[in-house]
Structure 1
Amino acid sequence: AFDSTYAEGLALKAAVKWYLGYLSHKEAAPFKIKSFPWYDDLCAVFGKDRATGKHAETVTDVVEELEAEKENTTLGEDDFSNANNVDEVESMSVSDATRGAQSHTQSDGSSKKKRKAANHEELSNALTQSASILAEVIEKASIRLSKAIGEDLNEKHMQLGKELERTTTLTTTQRHKVPRMIMQDNALVSYFFSVPDDEKDEWARLLIDGSL
């Protein structure tokens, strides 16, 4: 049976893959050490039992279906009581009974095929819709995230000189040299700001000496 959470799970799983792939980008270095939020919740959604979907069958449904089949394939007591005599009952054609059973089986099989086809079509439509929505969400999120990262890096570039002056004992010439060496690599800029203040002086000097 189809469960709407299955399509949601696929969408969420795709979003997780995209998110982790995005973090592998060289400009996303500051985010690599951060844990992915709601990971356990997303796993729980994706792993939810699909037997709870819209077309799921309960135990009651199964019992009712079996009872209905039993009634359709078994002669009732009224059929015998209404017969004129035993000979009339015995004269029932075996071929007629066989055709009746075959007709019921074919009808039941046809109904199941129709239900399966309907379920497959519903699943396909749900996945298509989920993929379309996911693509739109990813595009918007990517634009917002790229913009936020760009603004953050621009701010860091502007603060780099003051940060070197505040946390190091470098000469003026050295303080101008360090930005020129690292501003071409946004990951290095981000890493510099993640270094503890009491280690920034040593880090900058090692960079200038070519030891990093």
Structure 2
Amino acid sequence: MTNLLPSTQKDRAIGKDAQTTTDIIEEINVEDVAATNTHEERNDFHGSEADVSLDDMDLSATKLQPEPQPARNQGDSAFLKKKKKISDASDFSTSFNDAAALLAENIRTVGLEISKSIASEVVIQQNSEMTIQESALKLYPTLCEVEGLTEDERYRALSKIPDHPTQMLIFFSLPSAVRLEWVRRFLADH
């Protein structure tokens, strides 16, 4: 029978470098550990963790193939990281929702204040317009009461004073003794 094995393998099988089953299993396990370490480095690079040590492996000589032991914390660590990411996103989402609710409440409050302010301004303006209208209605009879005004001055004043609501209010606030002079100056300036 010819020897089909190369000399190094033949020497191992029968000679000085012959290995027992235990030696072969230990070599396989060392190679597995090296491969696991390479896997760990890759997993660490991708944000995962693997915790594998020789203590976790069964190195008994009675088994030809070692049973891989589940890596400690590998699934737990990935789960915890994923849970933390979800928790962080949930915290951010909650914070964002709280800020949006607070902003909405502030906008609502400001809107109500603006509405009240506008309503108040509208009421003031309406009251002012009513006062001006009432004053305009009283303007002709009051101008007729001013002694010394000619009929021409009275009609010119009647057509110009209502165009200047503030001036009309000033006219009515003056004592009757100065109204003649005020009307003449108003007509001269306008």
TM > 0.5 fold call: no
More helix by share: 1
Query: Structure 1 length as normaliser, TM-score?
Result: 0.39
Query: Structure 2 length as normaliser, TM-score?
Result: 0.43
Larger radius of gyration: 2
1 or 2 for the larger relative contact order (CA 8 Å, sep ≥6)?
1
